[in-house]
Structure 1
Amino acid sequence: MTLNNVVFALLNLLVLDAIFLCALVAIVAVLAGTKRAAFAVMKRNFFAYFSNPTGYVFLCIFVFLTSLAAFWPYEFFNQNLATLDQLNYWYPWIMLVFIPAITMSIWAEEKRQGTDELLLTLPADDFDIVIGKYMSAAAIFTSSLLFSQLSTFITLAILTEGGLDTGLIFTTYLGYWFVGLTMIAIGMVASFLTGNLTVGFILGALFNAPLAFAALSDSVIPEREIWGINFAELVKNSGIARTFDDFGRGVISISSVVYFVLVTAVALYACMVLIGRRHWTGGKDGNTMAWHYLSRILALVLVTGSAVVIFRNWDVVRSDMTEGKVSSLSGATVRMIENLESDRPIKIDAFISSDMPEQYARTRYELINLLKEFSSKASSKGRDIEVNLHDNIELFSEDAQLASERFGIEPVTRMVREQGSDKQRQVILGAAFRAGLEKVTVPIFEYGIPVEYELVRSINTVARGTRKRIGIVKTDANMMGGSVMQGMSFQQIPKDPIVDELAKQYEVEEVDLMAPVKPGMYDALVVSQPSSLAPPQFDRFVEAVKAGVPVAVFEDPLPYARQDIPGTGAPKQAGGMAAMMGGGGGPQPKGDIRQLWDVLELKSPGKPGMQGFYEPALVWQDYNPYPNLEMSVDPMWVFVDQNAPGVENNEAVSMDSEITSGLSQVMMLYAGAIEAKEDATLKHTPLLTTGEMSGTLGMDKVRNVLAGQGTVMSEIKGIQPRQVLAMTIEGEASKAAASEDDEDKEAADSTPGIKVVYAADTDMMLPVFLQIRADPNRAADMRLQFQNVTFLLNAIDWLTGENEFIEVRKHEPHFESLRMIDSVKEEASTAVRKRSQQFQTEFDEAMREAQEDMDASLKTLRVEVEDLQKESQDGSISPQLLRAKMTEFQTITQQKQRMLDVKRAKFERERERNVQSIQRDADQKVTTIQNKVKGFAVALPCIPPLIVGIIVFASRRLRERENISKSRLK
């Protein structure tokens, strides 16, 4: 299957190459039909180059250098992405060697051999000769580049098992082609100036060096503005690296194409001036004509620079050719940029350290891509978004100091495993967003959080200047933090991390419901376990729902992870001083959730419980998508998953709602079930539904299971498939809150409709889900895919009308990793885990046997002491003898225990040594594979051109020896 994928990927590339080559052939055909002299010059030079073994030597060197730059650096495997970032960095320097090797002989060789005069006597004008020479060099370079592309692509295809992004590779090499064509035109200028090959090579490299080294200008030229112009930035943007960047990210942009075409045109015009100077050099107007043509060239340079600036600022045509759309903004993001209401310029300062661990490589790549796309889109849409990208900064550089002092972006320490050892690495990967006095800082882009969403949210926040308001209702869940009574002491409850997540986008306030909440006071309310509210507060909450306040409700029959929160049908115990003093510590009044259900026209399976409250049943599901979980998964842990048995038409995570459309898995713990009443008039849309192998279990049976009296599977008597755990409720408030009073009816008709998201679980908001979202590799063997946080954020955005953010979260670019290396790493990791478990089992068994040996050796002495103790009670032995025997027993026990401790320490050292040994073996296996890939990727592509070169050399020698007598060959 892997071979088929590689072949299919290669065929896709060959199709793109064929289309590209057909376009080039069409251009050459037009040239052959209209400019026969130019075509003849092109044909002569092209075949002369490849009929000489030297051409194949240069081809071999070119392929060797490109393969070396692409695959040899450690950063290639550390990044673990199927991109050509390393080659992109070194490519301009490689071209400084290869392009002069092609162009040095274009005219210098003609002068050296004296064939230039013959060439100039052809029935052709100067344009024919220049364009013929140029196209021959371009054809030579194109052939070399195609060979490099195929060798590089095959290597990447094998490493990714055929899953690489063909569009990205093709576009990157298209950029290489444009770079080469431009540098060839400049190199030709050098060749027309001299008749010496060596000088031609040196001048070709020197003339192209400014474009190649312009990216380093900021390290030479001070970054200061003179007359409003930052010359360091101006020089940097005029180089090849800045313009090639779009191609390297898989984007074909009109600004980049215009840059290369215009610079090439200027250089070719300079070549025509140089070849045509024979017509006016030495004449009476020679000096005048020289200044005339120099003025023309300078004017063309000025026009080219102006055109490049114009197209760069209005880069209206941009096409992301990548298959994974890694360099595209979602439609919602583009619309938000177009509709930015702020008249203040928005400034984004991003700081990215040079030493980046593997797990952050993808985030870094995505962040840089998206920031550049933000800058381009903002320019094309006329929006003032300034992006200052401080990339590859050192931890103690001025940029790092600026990030810390001005924006509070500090290096973050992460423990990573690299090159066979665990290391602590400091990472800078943050950004600050400013607009006027508004500022938002993202200290670090954690690698599990969508980068585009963080960027859009931050830009939108500073652009608006004001935020929508979210009210967090104060309940026993204490989402905003507080203290609760545990036993006879208070325990501090920290603020729920989901509140901090919401605070990045909204203005968050705590609501105590001591007064009514009217529509317009808050854009939405979030209430966790509303049934724990006191009756007056609960009634005000229900009235707010009736009034049309958008609300997210999380009501849990059994809060599994928070025992301090009373379940829906559980009594609410008194807290505070009353409980500590032993007075008033009995059950306290609380809300009856059925009042809210009546308003929302909901019902839940269950039965009446204590104190007249209703106890909903809990949902179970026999499905576990993570077989690598080392613990037995509780059936009450419900994995709402599109792949669960019996799920049809993607009904597990509904595609009919903006909240869940695009999601695939949400986890809920000991959740309840809800459904609409038969005569419901409101609109109920299920969001999360179980599969076929599911049902409900009464609360009394669940309590027995938790008390150790049986198991969930033993209590199940039948299945009730497709239990709904969350839904949205919408409708007219007048229908849900009908009143006999005419005035109340009129008031109800004027209120907005009910808008509620109801989820029968609070555990789905646990902090662990935010940790998994930020660090999905925390349990690498399990590859957890929970989207609880996305579900929660989508629900709040849906309630507040911020639907653009929902669409942005759905846009997930696809990155291809080095699957072959990943499989080796995973295989090695699995072996390490299994062997470690084996060593732990052996350690436990050895310690058990040692403990048994110790107990057996002391058994006789212990029995003897026990017998003496019995006899001492009868007075048949003296107390001194008993004490002596007990002292002897204690001494021997201590000796045995010390011996046992020594054995334990020895076994622990041996276990750790064995674990470290297999870990080293696993790391060595990965390193060996990487080294083999490096060797083969660099060496093998050089063999075909060498073989062809040898064949050409041999055939040439044979032709030279034809018709020569044997006597002369001696």
Structure 2
Amino acid sequence: MTTLHKNSTKPTPPRANPGVRGSSPFRLPVIRAIFKRNFLSYFSNPAGYVFITLFVFVSSWVAFWQPVFFTNNLANLAPLNDWMPYLLLFFIPAITMNTWAEERRLGTDELLFTLPAHDVDVVLGKYLAAIGIYTVALAFSLTQVVILKWLGSPDMGIMFSTYLGYWLMGVMLIALGMVGSLLSANVTVAFILGAVFCAVPVFLGLLGSPLGGALRRQFEDLSVPAQFHDFGTGVVPLAGLFYFLSLAAAFLYVNMVLLGRRHWAGGQASNGRWGHSLARVVAVVMALASLNVLVARAGVRADTSAARLHTLSSETLTALKQIPKDRPVFIQAYYSPDVPREFVETKADMIGLLKEFAAKGGDRVRLNLVETELYSPQARDAEKRFGIEPRRVMTADEARQTSSEVFLGVAFNSGLEEVIIPFFDRGLPVEYELTRSLRVVSRSGRKNVGILNTDAKLMGNFDFRSMGQSPEWSIVTELKKQYNVSSVSPDASLPTDLDVLLVAQPSSLTQKQIDNLTAYVRQGGPVLLFLDPLPYENPQISPEIPRAPAGGPFGGGQPPEPKGDLRPLLELIGIDWPTTEIVWNPYNPHPALADLPPEVVFVSKNSGAEDAFNPSQAVSSGLQEVVTLFPGLLRQRGGAGLDFTPLLRTNQSGGTLPFSEVMQQSFMGPSGINPNRPHFPTGLAYTLAARVQGTPAAEADKEKEKAEEKTKEAKKKAAEINVIAIADLDVISEQFFMLRRQRAENLELDNVTFVLNCVDVLAGDDAFVTLRKRRPEHRTLSLLEAKNKSFIATRQDETKAAEDEAKQLLDKLQKRLDKEVEAVRSSKDMDERTKEIRVLQLQEIANRRLDVDKANIDDQKRKKILEIKGDTEQEIRRTQNEVRAVAIAIPPLPPLILGLLVFATRLRRENQGANPNRLA
């Protein structure tokens, strides 16, 4: 009603009411009051705790019950990460269905809208209350992290980013679920609408599947699971943060529009307002989509993992910056959706690092991650375009050994350059392989590595024994990935344009060839020497064994030219290499390899030798373990005037053996290792590899004589010796490359890393030296690992006992036979001829009986071993089931107990003041 002022005929306008639509928004007291009302009402009702208990139970079941959790053997929530977006499709609508629908059903919405509050205050109050409820539910699910702490040592940085991703998914989906609640007064319908609306961004990738090509990938990238993926691995991307928060803001705006329709719907004012509101919503969505694209291009990502799993090294960042802007690198990665347990970490590292490459490289790197199923169009594309084929790998799981075909390859293209990694074996250093391929494909110039032709035949040759072509050594294949590798003949002057020359077993060269090599070293050519007194893979090329004819011992023709004298070369580089001394050492850190002879020398940082790996040299610092087979030793030769720097050294518990006592000889040549060789410790440590640098004293003296007044200048003119010598050729044998690829017995040997470091340092290109030593640390289920190891150790002991028992039975049978034979031979009642006949008969009968007994003993042993293996697998399964039971039963208990307390308290309050007779 309007009133008239005195002396005025105009009506007085009404006062501004703060409760009407024109009041100022974002009033904190109002938002707080609505938040408190909705938040407390949820937790004052036991039904709310039922939903939370169910949510925690189901998420725990998904996280810990699936076999993939034990298969992966990682202390993280990866199984839950895959399912969390789909679990929220049911839990989020359960929270939001009452937000508006319950108000309308009870008729309290009209009372709510008469409050002195702006629409945005009402929406924010209810939205924050729903977020609060969801946050409490997530807090209860933190007991899953406690379970992981019990089982191992989870990376808390990854746990933080994972739960941040869970929370952001809920923040966005709650805003969407509230839209469904606003459209219906029926709670059930509101739940269904909320689930349908939330399913759109969750299943957006499937909606884009019929489109194919780049458009399909764009739809997949905009889906909730794709945006959450990085959070679950320990990365917080700015693009993911903005995606969830911007969509939450957009759907809150939709809530505002739908809530505001009550002001104009149904009258003349509604004409055109629907179209106007729809246009505003579309404009907001388009603006936020554009901002999402801009934020995604920024490539800002935070690595929250404690082990810095997703932080690129400085070498990788430098390689990314050096990519020409006009020649970007295209990366195609093909990987199987599911991989065996042994390849889980490798796949995670590969995908995570490639994403970092794309983020840090910007427009210089174009990445396409292709999930590849067998026999799919993607699989055919990988094979036809890049030759990437599935690799059949073996895995032992669930008490059986199975094989599966796995895609795990990457192709790099830039201009006309192409580098293919057909398969990532589990032992390969992922970042090193990716960065090396990236740098090689983006740079046109490669350095030159020469392989000197010696009897070691690193480049491969025609084998007269097998009458076939032997392949090149794996070290050559590895070097070709980074360098231009060529074969170098020692019969003429060696080329001077080489950055590094590899010489395997120079003692097999003729004198002329050694002289050519010596001249090359004197000129300052960088050389990597492999000096081995006994190459275990091919003892025929040992220094102490003369050269064999080209066609073998019966090859005929002219006798080969004898081996030359290597002493001039050794004197030039200041090294003393006794060709007849072989180093042995009893140190062996691997109980499973306890049967190895002491001539298999382990160089380890834990061997007790402080300088096992020279920490001041980039070649050797940071290495963990190197294994040599029947190696030699290196000493510094006095008076050479060169810097002799040991790189690998043994501890002082071993000694040396002469070649003649180690290798047995026969008419045909080397016939094997002497099993009865003695081992007497010398108490000395031995150098197995060393670097030699500097100007030889003799060379400096010559320059001095020519120009005494310019001594310093003369020394500068003298060529610098630059040599690394390794007293073992087997350090680069094929078996170590196989161990590196397969990481058999969980051995992480640095043989290949050490040799590649030597080549890089000699070539003056040490960009990858540090990168090769980097080992990402994935936290595993250490509790289960310890129990499984104890089970396996027990099985090994019992298996060995069964084998020993079988051997004892066989020895007993053999002794009984020998005793019977001896009784016949010592009998005085038979002549010698009769004795021989009787012995032969006895042996024939005994051998038949012995064969039967052997077969029975072997069958019993085999059955016992299978029984032991079965018992072990049952123990492992029983342990896993116990873990499952605890991991699923414990997390839901806190909300369940709290809900029961609330129910009991509420029941007690309802009964207070009631007539006891009515309660009876």
Q: TM-score, normalised by structure 1?
A: 0.85
2:329 maps to 346
Structure 2 contact 73–781 (Cα < 8 Å) conserved: yes
**Would the aligned equivalents of 1:172 and 1:249 in 2 still touch at CA under 8 Å?**
yes
Deviations 1:673-705 (A, max 9, x none): 334455554444321123343555666676799
Deviation at 1:275, TM superposition (A): 1.8
Corresponding position of 2:679? 713
Q: What are the within-5 Å matches in structure 2 for residues 118-157 of structure 1?
A: 118-149=111-142, 151-157=143-149
Asked whether the 8 Å contact 1:255–1:312 carries over to 2, the reply is: yes
The code of the aligned residue for 1:46 comes to: F
681-690 vs 197-206, greater mean Cα deviation: 681-690
Compare 799-808 and 405-414 and name the one that shifted more. 405-414
- In the TM superposition, what is the alpha-carbon distance from 1:223 to its structure 2 partner? 0.8
Q: What letter is aligned with 1:100?
A: P
- Report the CA distance shift for 1:751/1:267 in structure 2 as closer, same or farther (over 3 A): farther
Letter of the 1:503 partner, please give it: K
Match of residue 179 from structure 2: 189
Aligned to 2:4: none
Partner of 1:958: 908
> Would the aligned equivalents of 2:101 and 2:184 in 1 still touch at CA under 8 Å?
yes
CA distance in 1, matches of 2:585, 2:551: 42
Q: What is aligned with 1:237?
A: 221
In the alignment, the residues of structure 1 paired with residue 198 and residue 894 of structure 2 have an alpha-carbon distance, to the nearest angstrom, of 30
Superposed CA deviations along residues 535-589 of structure 1, whole A, max 9, x for unmatched, are: 222222122222222221111233344211132xx36435226964667648x44
Deviation for aligned residue 1:497? 1.8
Match of 1:514 among 491, 501, 508: 491
User: 1:73-88 to 2 correspondence within 5 Å?
Assistant: 73-88=66-81
**Contact 2:26/2:121, CA 8 A, preserved across alignment:** no
Which residue is 2:376 aligned to?
397
Which aligned pairs between 1:558-569 and structure 2 lie closer than 5 A?
558-567=534-543
Q: Which amino acid aligns with 1:519?
A: T
Distance 2:641 2:277 in 1: 83
Separation in structure 2 between the aligned mates of residue 118 and residue 785 of structure 1, nearest angstrom: 70
Query: What does residue 503 of structure 1 align with?
Result: 480
| Count of paired positions | 887
Q: What is the DSSP-based 3-state SS (H/G/I as helix, E as strand, rest coil) of the residue aligned with 1:106?
A: helix
- Aligned twin of 1:325: 308
Secondary structure, counterpart of 1:564 in structure 2: helix
Helix, strand or coil: the match of 1:350? strand
Partner of 1:576: 550
C-alpha distance in structure 1 between counterparts of 2:381 and 2:828, whole Å: 75
2:13 is aligned to: none
**Alignment check: 8 A CA contact 2:205 2:216 kept:** no
Q: Which moved further from structure 2: 305-314 or 337-346?
A: 337-346
| Inter-partner Cα distance in structure 1 for 2:240 and 2:585 | 55
User: d(CA) in 1 for partners of 2:351 and 2:377?
Assistant: 20
Distance 1:854 1:671, change over 3 A: closer
Identity of aligned residues (%): 37
Residues 522-921 of structure 1: pairs in structure 2 closer than 5 A: 522-567=498-543, 570=544, 572-576=546-550, 580=554, 585=559, 588-600=561-573, 602-604=574-576, 606=578, 615=579, 617-631=581-595, 633-634=597-598, 636-645=599-608, 647-648=609-610, 651-679=611-639, 681-694=641-654, 711-714=677-680, 716=681, 718-721=682-685, 723-731=686-694, 736=699, 739=702, 753-776=720-743, 778=744, 780=745, 783-854=746-817, 867=830, 870=833, 896-921=846-871
Once the two structures are superposed, residues 773-797 of structure 1 have per-residue CA deviations (whole angstroms, 9 ceiling, x without a partner) of 1222x3x3xx534211110111111
Residues 643 and 693, structure 2, Cα contact 8 Å, conserved in 1 = yes
Give yes or no for contact 2:694–2:722 (8 Å, CA) kept in 1. yes
* 1:460 alignment counterpart: 439
Give the equivalent residue in structure 2 for 1:378: 361
Instruction: Report the CA distance shift for 1:709/1:334 in structure 2 as closer, same or farther (over 3 A).
Output: closer
Give the secondary-structure state (helix, strand or coil) at the position aligned to 2:633.
coil
> Is 1:265 paired with 2:241?
no
Q: Is contact 2:53-2:895 (8 Å) kept?
A: yes
1:93 aligns with 2:66: no
Bigger drift between 702-711 and 33-42 goes to: 702-711
Offset, 1:461: 2.3
User: Does the C-alpha gap of structure 1 residues 584 and 747 become closer, same or farther in structure 2, counting only changes over 3 Å?
Assistant: farther
Relative to structure 1, is the Cα distance of residues 642 and 869 closer, same or farther in structure 2, using a 3 angstrom cutoff?
closer
CA distance in 2: counterparts of 1:444 and 1:95, whole angstroms: 36
Q: Is the 8 A contact 1:81 1:816 kept in 2?
A: yes
Higher mean displacement: 748-757 or 895-904: 748-757
Are the equivalent residues in 2 in contact too, given 1:530–1:591 (CA < 8 A)? Answer: no
Q: Aligned partner of 2:146: which letter?
A: I
Structure 1 unaligned regions, length at least 5? 1-30, 225-229, 607-614, 872-881
Q: Determine helix, strand or coil for the equivalent of 1:631.
A: coil
- State the AA in 1 paired with 2:684: Q
1:284-295 matched pairs, under 5 angstroms: 284-295=268-279
CA distance in 2, matches of 1:735, 1:307: 71
Worse overlay, 106-115 or 550-559: 550-559
Distance in 2 between the 1:735 and 1:281 partners? 103
> Residue 95 of structure 1 contacts residue 180 of structure 1 at CA under 8 Å; is this kept in 2?
yes
Structure-2-length-normalised TM-score: 0.90
In structure 2, the CA distance between the partners of 1:548 and 1:944, relative to structure 1 (3 Å rule), is same
| Gaps in structure 2 of 5+ consecutive residues | 1-23, 666-671
> Aligned partners of 2:314 and 2:684: how far apart in 1?
41
C-alpha separation in 2, matches of 1:409 and 1:539: 46
Does the aligned pair in 1 maintain the 2:657–2:679 contact within 8 Å?
A: no
Q: Any conservation in 2 of the 1:341–1:463 contact (CA below 8 Å)?
A: yes
Instruction: State the Cα deviation string for residues 332-352 of structure 1 (Å, max 9, x = none).
Output: 111101112474342322222
Distance change in 2, residues 1:492/1:299 (3 Å): closer
Per the alignment, in what secondary structure is the counterpart of residue 413 of structure 1? strand
Residue by residue over 1:444-479, the C-alpha shift from the partner in whole angstroms, topping out at 9 and shown as x without a partner, is: 211111111111222222222453321110111111
Check whether the contact 2:235–2:303 (CA below 8 A) recurs between aligned residues.
yes
Counterpart-to-counterpart distance in 1, 2:719 and 2:403? 54
Secondary structure of the structure 2 residue equivalent to 1:573: coil
Structure 1 window deviating more from structure 2 (290-299 vs 732-741): it is 732-741
RMSD: 3.2
Q: Distance between the aligned counterparts of 2:133 and 2:215, measured in 1? A: 36
Give the direction of change, closer, same or farther, for the CA distance of 1:895–1:155 in structure 2 (3 Å limit): same
SS in structure 1 at match of 2:457: coil
Q: Distance in 2 between matches of 1:485 and 1:191?
A: 83
Output one character per residue of 1:101-159: Cα deviation in whole Å (capped at 9) or x when no partner: 1111111111111111111122221121111111111111111101112x110111111
- In the TM superposition, residue 860 of structure 1 has moved relative to its aligned partner by 7.0
* Paired letter, 2:186: N
Name the counterpart of 1:246.
Answer: 230
- Pair 1:194–1:583, CA change in 2 (3 A): closer
Residue of structure 2 aligned with 1:221, choices 206, 210, 221:
210
Instruction: Give SS of 2:146's match.
Output: helix
C-alpha distance 598-89 of structure 1, shift in aligned 2 (>3 A):
same
1:169 aligns with 159
**1:839–1:299 Cα change, 3 Å:** same
Match status 1:314 vs 2:298? yes
* Contact 1:53–1:950 (8 Å) recurs in 2: yes
**Cα deviation, residue 931, structure 1:** 1.5
After superposition, give the CA deviation of every residue in 1:349-391 in whole Å (9 maximum; x if it has no partner): 2222244222122212212212222222222xx31x2322223
Q: Deviations over 1:588-639 (max 9, x none)?
A: 4434333223332x23275xxxxxxxx46444445332344332641x4332
The separation in 2 between residues aligned to 1:490 and 1:201, in whole angstroms, is 76
Give the direction of change, closer, same or farther, for the CA distance of 1:866–1:111 in structure 2 (3 Å limit). farther
Aligned to 1:359, which of 329, 333, 342?
342
